[in-house]
Structure 1
Amino acid sequence: MRQVTDAFPFPGYFDPELSGHITVAQTVQRFLKPGSRILDFGAGCADKTAVLAALGYRCTAADDLQDEWHKRGGARRRILDFAETMGVEYVTLDGGALPETGTDTGTETGTDTAAGAGAFDMVMLHDVLEHLHDSPRALLIGLLERVRDEGYLFVTVPNHVNLRKRLAVLRGRTSHPPYELYYWYPGPWRGHVREYTEGDCVALAKALGLTVHEVRGTHHILEKVPPRLRRAYLAFSRFAPSTRDTWSMVAQKPPGWRARPKLDDTEFRELTGLKSWGELAH
């Protein structure tokens, strides 16, 4: 952690004790040995990726680097230079699209990765899924095709019903990001669209045909809890893990896994409760 924070180009951006870097690293260590290959999709400034690289994992970070702050003050170049310093290969995505399987990845850090089928032991998405405006189905299928059989999907997502949000709603306040941020955000909204519950995480893994190894509540954004209340919050959440701020899920890709890109007509009608397609007109 000290190695990463000393090299990180944005002072004050994160505190590893509060922002989930330790629990992410510990989770990876439970499932993979150092030397394993990890793809961190939506890696942003590659802070969590860099921690794993420092622990001996072979890491590739991928992001379009199109958040508003990425475009200001030379941030993009500083992120790529940091990744290279930490031994992280950085794939900058063209229009948000994944590189084609088995083709050159178009990295900007001067190295090449085989992005082919089964190239990685794990794909991670940390604080990514809640930003998607559409179903994550196509994205996750594409990523899982790059994971070996019996490899892992590791996601962390904000808990839509954490304690802070439950109390805010009871007080008549919103559980969404501040409205002013949404109103003034330049260009397409890149904030949270749909946050997750524990049941959503399990449903996601089931729909993808994965075996769930763990879904647990963790603390990744403790900085949002006032310091004077932090000790009480941590004590309460020990007895009610579902009130923690983040869900962490690790699911495994079974041997012979095959992508399921869509439901057939009968399954879709059952899911939506439509008895006939004629009901769509009403």
Structure 2
Amino acid sequence: MHRYIKVDAEMEQALTEVTNAFPFPDYFYPWLCGHITIAQTVQRFLRPGARILDFGAGPADKTAVLAALGYKCTAADDLQDDWHKRGDTRRRILDFSEKMGIEYIQLDGGALPDTGDFDMVMLHDVLEHLHDSPRDLLIGLLERVRDDGYLFVTVPNHVNLRKRLDVLRGRTSHPPYELYYWYPGAWRGHVREYTEGDCLALAKALGLQVRELGGTHHILSKVPPRLLRAYLAVSRFIPSTRDTWSMVAQKPPGWVAKPELDGQELRELTGLKSWGELAH
């Protein structure tokens, strides 16, 4: 397996621990799917022992790496993806989380802790699935983060190298239409992917200070092996062509949530007098 990033002994040990405990072996590819870069990003901002809320954690694979590194982790997810509901998958996720020392909250029946002392809230590959604005969700999560704490999000890059080439060839940059058409029930795939400018606009709207923003690799497993080295070489010189955006933004002291625009702000930003004008 191609290792495009170096890790120290502590990280190697954490990855080994999670790999040995994780109950879904065909799901966990830490060298190709962002587990390492996410953990290293957290290490740049927080010391072990810090409290982290991982929202939309799925099987808690990324959460578990951080737990193995000594962070106090809470994971939250509705576990409503189709594969989550097959057989005893949910139980295996919860058993794994307990084994790794992770508090797991099922959002279809449980509530997030009513606390404001998390050091960081993370959302990895979550925002692109939302059908509505992330405003209310993120405000609610940030209210659970201490002053000077962090929001850490990773989102698919809507203009990564593969999608740019697809569009140039007249192909769609969205998932295959057949996948969307035949999907059972409510669509759980990507609704809106992000660009660098979108990430900056998100942080500004939330009143946060961007501390780190850049392109990274989270889905190298989808790159054909024969093209992997060439892709890594190109993306090394043009980071904006990588598959994922990674942003860490800080909550300033005295932060106050902004739930809506006033009339003047709406006109200045959109040219509209009211949101109702969009219907005409």
Q: TM-score if structure 2 supplies the norm length?
A: 0.92
Match of 2:150 in 1: 152
Return the match for 1:204 from 180, 202, 205: 202
Q: Residue type matched to 2:72 in 1?
A: R
Q: Distance in 2 between matches of 1:5 and 1:204?
A: 34
Q: Is the 8 A contact 2:128 2:191 kept in 1?
A: yes
Q: Distance in 1 between matches of 2:153 and 2:278?
A: 35
Runs of 4+ with deviation above 4 angstroms: 275-282
Decide which of 208, 233, 236 is 2:234's aligned counterpart: 236
1:52 maps to a residue whose letter is L
C-alpha distance 279-207 of structure 1, shift in aligned 2 (>3 A) = closer
C-alpha deviation, 1:186, in angstroms: 1.0
Instruction: Describe the shift of the 1:264–1:170 C-alpha distance in structure 2 as closer, same or farther (beyond 3 A).
Output: same
Could you tell me how far apart the structure 2 residues matched to 1:202 and 1:124 are?
Answer: 17
- Which amino acid counterpart does residue 36 of structure 1 have in structure 2? A
Sort the Cα spacing of 1:279 and 1:186 in 2 relative to 1 into closer, same or farther, 3 A. closer
Structure 1 residue 194: deviation in Å? 0.2
Instruction: Tell me which amino acid in the other structure corresponds to 1:157.
Output: V
- Aligned-residue offset at 1:174: 1.1
**Structure 2 unaligned blocks of 5 or more:** 1-14
Q: Tell me by how many angstroms 1:94 deviates.
A: 2.5
> Aligned with 1:153: secondary structure?
strand
1:208 CA drift (Å) = 0.2
**Residue 264, structure 1, aligned to residue 262, structure 2:** yes
What are the superposed Cα offsets for residues 127-174 of structure 1, whole Å, 9 maximum, x if unpaired?
A: 000000000000000000000000000000000000011111111111
**Partner of residue 163 from structure 2, selected from 165, 173, 177:** 165
Q: 1:276: Cα distance to partner? A: 7.3
**1:183 alignment partner in structure 2:** 181
Shift of 1:275: 5.2
- Partners of 2:125 and 2:279 lie apart in 1 by 37
Counterpart of 2:249 (choices 242, 248, 251) is 251
**Superposition TM-score, scaled by structure 1 size:** 0.91
Does structure 1 residue 26 correspond to structure 2 residue 40? yes
Q: How does 1:78-97 map to 2 (within 5 A)?
A: 78-94=92-108
Q: In structure 2, what is the Cα distance between the partners aligned to 1:84 and 1:219?
A: 29
Deviation at 1:274, TM superposition (A): 2.4
**CA pair 255-11 structure 1, distance change in 2 beyond 3 A:** same
Which residue does 2:61 correspond to in 1? Answer: 47
Q: Summarize the Cα distance change of 1:91–1:272 in structure 2 as closer, same or farther, 3 Å threshold.
A: same
Alignment-mate amino acid for residue 70 of structure 1: H
Distance in 2, matches of 1:92 and 1:279, equals 39
**Equivalent residue of 1:138, what SS?**
helix
Structure 1 pair 273–79 and aligned structure 2 pair: CA distance change class (3 A):
same
Gap runs ≥5 in structure 1: 100-104, 106-114
Amino acid at match of 2:34: G
Please identify, of 183-192 and 138-147, the stretch whose mean Cα deviation from structure 2 is larger: 183-192
Distance 2:87 2:174 in 1: 28
Match of 2:90 in 1: 76
Report if the CA contact (8 A) 2:266-2:273 is conserved: no
> Alignment length, in residue pairs?
266
Identify the range of structure 1 (178-187 vs 151-160) with the bigger mean alpha-carbon deviation: 178-187
Distance in 1, Cα, partners of 2:228 & 2:274? 53
Deviations 1:70-106 (A, max 9, x none): 01121111111110111111000027xx83xxxxx5x
* RMSD after superposition: 1.6
| Counterpart check, 1:65 vs 2:89 | no
How far residue 119 of structure 1 moved from its aligned partner, in angstroms, is 2.2
1: distance between equivalents of 2:258 and 2:85?
36
Report what 1:139 is aligned to. Answer: 137
Question: SS at the partner of 1:141?
Answer: helix
Greater Cα offset, 257-266 or 35-44:
257-266
